[in-house]
Amino acid sequence: MPNSLHEDVTVAAAECGKHVLVEKPMALSLAGCDRMLAACEARGVTLMVGQVLRFWEPHRKVREILDSGRIGRPRHLLRRRTGWQKEIRRDWYRKDTEGSMVLYSYAPHEVDIMLWWVRERPARVYAQGLKNNPYWNQDELSVVVTTEQGTILSLSQSLNSRTHQWDQLVIGSEESLYVNGNEIRIGEKEALTVERKSGPAEEVREFVNAILEGRLPEAHGRDVRATMEVLDAAERSMRANQAVELGLVSAARSAPE
């Protein structure tokens, strides 16, 4: 379903009393996310967002390691997602995201998984993006997030790299961790391979079980709103060419341009 329809379809489903599992990005604006949350909460229905990376076993193992204190307190996360994507067959997708595949197609995954790992809220965002391929409005993106606890989350993305990278370095106060696909390395000596089960299947299972058990699901709407705050702030940061304090985002959006 086109990203631009997520908001209206979610609201319509909620008004009919239906639970909702919506694909990422949750919406294309923070105001849209808030409208979806209000509609679902007013009718008492579940809203879950398809942040599928949370359900990949290697990522769940990383969270387990971080929670255990094995590398100390996470202080700096560096994440890369680069590859070659000259164009896309679903032209609606490019139009939906205003030509920025990196901001509203890939970044919702990448920002969300880092916030989920550290269990911290974003406080400050600085972003820079540019166009490398005329087909896109933006195909190079770097975002730096500082959390309320002072942890740095750094994301670099490109659609123009002939060298594919999709990996993560987590630097802790006592040790470092590196994850690439199914492989996780802790420091220089410890390595493990984690089976990668079907993330989408686990995601749907979590949605159904949460409804049956009367609890909030993983990646529920209120939780994922923090991810969308970062994307919203990144967009504003690029336009203003300066960092954005998240506590000021809502006020800034409502102010006259």
- C-beta neighbour count of 164 within 10 angstroms: 11
Using alpha carbons, list the distances in angstroms from residue 253 to 88, 189, 256. Answer: 31, 48, 8
Mutual angle of helices 30-43 and 221-240, in 10-degree steps: 160
How many Cα atoms within 13 Å fall on the side-chain side of residue 143?
Answer: 34
Q: With helix as H, strand as E and coil as C, how does 172-222 read?
A: ECCCEEEEECCEEEECCCEEEECCCCCHHHHHHHHHHHHHHHCCCCCCEHH
Q: Taking the complete model, does pTM exceed 0.85, yes or no?
A: yes
* Tens of pLDDT, residue by residue, the chain (257 residues): 788 899 999 999 999 999 999 999 999 999 999 999 999 999 999 999 999 999 999 999 999 999 999 999 999 999 999 999 877 766 666 666 665 778 988 999 999 999 999 999 999 999 999 998 888 888 999 999 999 999 999 999 999 999 999 999 999 999 999 999 999 999 988 999 998 777 899 999 999 999 999 999 999 999 999 999 999 999 999 999 999 999 754 433 333 33
Q: What confidence score (pLDDT) does residue 197 get?
A: 72
Q: What confidence score (pLDDT) does residue 195 get?
A: 84
Q: Is 2 helix (H, G, I), strand (E, B) or coil?
A: coil
Domains of the chain and CATH, by start: 52-198 (3.30.360.10)
Q: What confidence score (pLDDT) does residue 86 get?
A: 79
Q: What confidence score (pLDDT) does residue 215 get?
A: 97
Name the H helices within the chain: 6-15, 30-43, 57-68, 91-96, 101, 107-118, 199-213, 221-240, 249-254
Q: Is there a contact between 114 and 121 (Cβ–Cβ < 8 Å)?
A: no
The residue with tokens 């309320």 is: 148
Q: Return d(Cα 126, Cα 240) in angstroms, integer.
A: 10
Q: What confidence score (pLDDT) does residue 90 get?
A: 67
Q: What confidence score (pLDDT) does residue 97 get?
A: 65
Handedness of CA 121, 200, 79, 162 (dihedral sign): negative
Q: What confidence score (pLDDT) does residue 99 get?
A: 52
